[in-house]
Structure 1
């Protein structure tokens, strides 16, 4: 019996994804001069051969002065549509990504207050920008405060003129991606980046038309979505990424209000990340396939994943026609099928396995491969020896990103890739 993962999915804009498996966004760390290059294109050409229903790129920053990573591609200046050399750079990237027919969607981003010192061209001591001047807090200990002071400058509240500028930068970036031949863009409104900062009451304390209520906090993202739709082709997809971990039960209804506004504004898909559907037992499904998630989860992790499930199911119940992608911990056919069969999503986002096996979908969709063999087990990425002196939250995330960026680099060079070893 064919897997439901093989079903095509049609987005509201008319773009058809040939199956439900999406290569999720990951940091590539390959754009040394913040421009697309042959190495980046080579990595995406490998993924284009992998049988994915959709490919999501890593971050493309909308302003080279404010970067989330020193090695992300970015928009360097206003895009007028008349720069042939610029367009050719991006067209080469788009062509490589879609060489074998897989639609590729570009994740576009502004880090806001999370722009590291030295990441971008604004200078080491220039402030970051944010909806409100709320500094980053990674902990109250001496080490945490010292790391924060070294890593980030103090943010300042954006003026209305700066809000208009950043909206234009998002729109310019989306138009450049459309002109280059990509199939769509995804607005990165997760992981504490600028769009997420506007949506959240923790970081948005404005009292003007861009803050104060859930609806006003959503206006910045809605303006970007509305203005982008005006300048791209009708069949160009516009999605958005949210992370359940960026929200809480206390603000649950506020988040649902914002999602309703986005859905009514012409959103093509919503990606929800966080948590895991990898263990089918948590939905009451058969446990014949070996679980990929340890039974010995902490109470905190279990609570986080329970909220992830509630978040996904509530969005589905309230917006049955909204195309949903879930990303977070998928490692097997059984886990991916459980998410689809549970009715929680239409698309399954797969990240780290894609960096180790760019053709992972071909394994999951091969009916000759038994369920127990249609998987890729991944251990935790190794951490450096000095990790014990640094906050666990930073080291864990940094070690994972660095490890898999290294695998993407190997993939781009045509070298063998490796899963983390015990």
Structure 2
């Protein structure tokens, strides 16, 4: 029986993904001091373009060079006015990604309150901006409070003019990506792990989620106070982008189930309903693992907290699927085998399967999963826990382990860009 992973998927805008496997967005940290789509960043995508993927999602492209999540992220430097030289620079990147016909979407974002000191051109003491002046909190201990103070200053609450400016920056970035020839964009509304010069790793939320989330948006104006009002920021972005991009230019959004809770579950579902009505082309849900490690022939004990988070991820995804069956849904998180990916599709949990870490170790992992001559037990890439750099072992933060994972796989992407061999953790 042919694998359902080989089925094409047509998005509402008309863009066609030739199969269900998507190379998920991952931190590359390759934009350099120029924060641009440089040759190194472009080189990393050449193997993925030939890897059998149905679609490719790039790593972060920030909409404002003054506010970056990492010192080495690419970003828009100024208002986009159709500059041919700028379009040509990004076109080289788009062409490399899509040379073999794989639609590529750019993940665009703004770190908001969690743009740390020194990331971006605003300077060490330039304030970050946020929906509300809620400072970053790493914990209640002395070390956590000191570290938060050193890394971030207290953000200032955005005025309406600030919000409208950032909306224009998202629109400008999307328009540039469309002019450069990319197939679409994904709005990053989920959390990730911040690599600070390769040493300190911090859990962070992107701007879209900071507006959606009642913990970070305590406004009482038209942008806060209810689930609907907290969604206005992203809904405005989507509406304005639609006005300036081609009809087949896809607009997706990424949410992480772990950014939400059972207490706000219905509010989140209300916001997803609004996103669906706004005409997004797909919703990516991350934050858990669909696969049982036992099906991959390995034993991986889980803490109660991890098990609960993954259970919530599955509940979250299944509820979205049942309530909004017409919404194209991508699940990302923990897929390591053909068996797991096929199970998610056959269970009607998703239309698209996002694969991150295995793609950083084997850029051709999609081709392996789709190759019917490869037996089931060989169509797998189990990954051990990434090693934690020795200096980070002394930092008493729960998130260091997850940050170490991001750092490890970013280093593998760097090896891909240089044409070097990649290695799974433990090898």
TM over 0.5: yes
Counterpart position of 2:47: 46
Q: How does 1:202-213 map to 2 (within 5 A)?
A: 202-213=215-226
Work out the CA distance in 2 between the residues paired with 1:388 and 1:27: 22
Q: How does 1:183-262 map to 2 (within 5 A)?
A: 183-191=183-191, 192-262=205-275
Work out the CA distance in 2 between the residues paired with 1:326 and 1:360: 17
Q: How does 1:68-217 map to 2 (within 5 A)?
A: 68-81=69-82, 83-191=83-191, 192-217=205-230
Contact 1:56–1:105, Cα closer than 8 Å, also in 2: yes
Counterpart position of 2:412: 407
| In the alignment, structure 1 residue 20 sits paired with structure 2 residue 20 | yes
Work out the CA distance in 2 between the residues paired with 1:291 and 1:326: 22
TM (normalized to structure 1)? 0.96
- Runs of 4+ in structure 1 deviating by more than 4 angstroms, as ranges, are none
Contact 2:296–2:337, Cα closer than 8 Å, also in 1: no
Post-superposition shift, 1:292? 5.1
Among residues 384, 387, 392, which one is paired with 1:387 in the alignment?
392
Post-superposition shift, 1:312? 0.3
Secondary structure of the residue that 1:65 maps to in structure 2? coil
- C-alpha deviations, 1:244-297, integer Å up to 9, x for none? 0000000000000000000000100000001111118xxxxxx7x435562x22
Work out the CA distance in 2 between the residues paired with 1:228 and 1:155: 27
Contact 1:381–1:400, Cα closer than 8 Å, also in 2: yes
Work out the CA distance in 2 between the residues paired with 1:390 and 1:216: 38
Work out the CA distance in 2 between the residues paired with 1:293 and 1:313: 26
Post-superposition shift, 1:398? 2.4
Counterpart position of 1:2: 2
Counterpart position of 2:194: none
Contact 1:59–1:106, Cα closer than 8 Å, also in 2: yes
CA RMSD in angstroms, aligned pairs only: 1.1
Work out the CA distance in 1 between the residues paired with 2:207 and 2:417: 30
Greater shift in the superposed pair: 239-248 or 379-388: 379-388
Work out the CA distance in 2 between the residues paired with 1:34 and 1:179: 19
Post-superposition shift, 1:147? 1.3
Work out the CA distance in 2 between the residues paired with 1:293 and 1:194: 37
Q: How does 1:369-380 map to 2 (within 5 A)?
A: 369-380=374-385
Work out the CA distance in 1 between the residues paired with 2:396 and 2:217: 26
- C-alpha deviations, 1:303-323, integer Å up to 9, x for none? 111111110011001110100
Contact 1:278–1:293, Cα closer than 8 Å, also in 2: no
Among residues 329, 334, 337, which one is paired with 1:324 in the alignment?
329
Contact 1:131–1:157, Cα closer than 8 Å, also in 2: yes
Post-superposition shift, 1:152? 1.2
Counterpart position of 2:343: 338
Work out the CA distance in 2 between the residues paired with 1:211 and 1:418: 46
| In the alignment, structure 1 residue 356 sits paired with structure 2 residue 369 | no
| In the alignment, structure 1 residue 366 sits paired with structure 2 residue 371 | yes
- C-alpha deviations, 1:150-179, integer Å up to 9, x for none? 111111100110000000000000000000
Counterpart position of 2:195: none
- C-alpha deviations, 1:59-88, integer Å up to 9, x for none? 00000000011111100000011x111010
Q: How does 1:228-307 map to 2 (within 5 A)?
A: 228-279=241-292, 289-291=295-297, 294=300, 296-307=301-312
Work out the CA distance in 1 between the residues paired with 2:356 and 2:24: 5
Contact 1:278–1:291, Cα closer than 8 Å, also in 2: no
Work out the CA distance in 2 between the residues paired with 1:291 and 1:114: 39
Work out the CA distance in 2 between the residues paired with 1:240 and 1:309: 18
Secondary structure of the residue that 1:145 maps to in structure 2? helix
Post-superposition shift, 1:393? 3.0
Counterpart position of 2:57: 56
Q: How many residues align?
A: 413
CA 1:302/1:133 → structure 2, altered by over 3 Å: closer, same or farther? same
Work out the CA distance in 2 between the residues paired with 1:196 and 1:113: 11
Greater shift in the superposed pair: 91-100 or 271-280: 271-280
Secondary structure of the residue that 1:381 maps to in structure 2? coil
TM (normalized to structure 2)? 0.95
